[in-house]
Chains A and B, each alone.
Chain A
Amino acid sequence: EVQLVESGGGLVKPGGSLRLSCAASGFTFSSYSMNWVRQAPGKGLEWVSSISTGSSSIYYTDSVKGRFTISRDNAKNSLFLQMDSLRAEDTAVYYCARAAAAYWYFALWGRGTLVTVSS
């Protein structure tokens, strides 16, 4: 079955760190660019970060630049998001999403993992 499964979410204090993981299965992970998209409670979707197949191209939304780091391990079919200096406004469900071949729209989504930043 083609799927993405996120893990690593939880409750963290402001200024803390968290590392999200996304396990891919059912497709050739190394052939697809990958992304993180988040959704604050009751709000819309917000693109967070993207990484190309070989990690040569990496992009971030301005609000997370310098605090979040996206990475991938093609040998382990895994995507990661290291989140440092977390703020209350980072509270959201974080979705792992696979891009389409050659285009940056989100063709496959995981079920998401909730990150709550609160003291």
Chain B
Amino acid sequence: EIVMTQSPASLSVSPGERATLSCRASQSVSSNLAWFQQKPGQAPRLLLYGASTRATGIPARFSGSGSGTEFTLTISSLQSEDFAVFYCQQYNAWPLAFGGGTKVEIK
């Protein structure tokens, strides 16, 4: 089974700054990687799929890159509404798997 590892576990960033989140797969998942954002008390929301394609309605400040085993989610200029927990998910093989999450906090 594929294990997804996210780093760092938490990140303190000032509004307006850039945040870079990493996701690593234990074996290649090609570009079959999605990113989600979850705010407290809410369901997750799809941000990106195919490693780099933004979902409908997602602002351009969210971007993704990578393929194979190494992936990055970048938030170019953090807004107050962006502070949340972010998860990656591989859908290349069964069982489907999420990373452990990265919490982005206000500095």
Interface residues of A (CB under 8 A from B): 35, 37, 44-47, 50, 59, 61-62, 95, 100, 103-112
Contact = CB atoms under 8 A, between A and B. Distances in A.
Nearest to A100: B49
A53 B96 CA distance: 17
B62 interface: no
A106 B94 contact: no
Overall SS of chain A's interface: strand
Interface residues of B, number: 22
A106 B46 contact: yes
Residues of B contacting A: mostly = loop
Interface string B32-53: 1010101000111110010000
B45 A105 contact: no
A111 B39 CA distance: 12
B46 A110 contact: no
Interface in B75-107: 87, 89, 91, 94-101
B43 A95 contact: yes
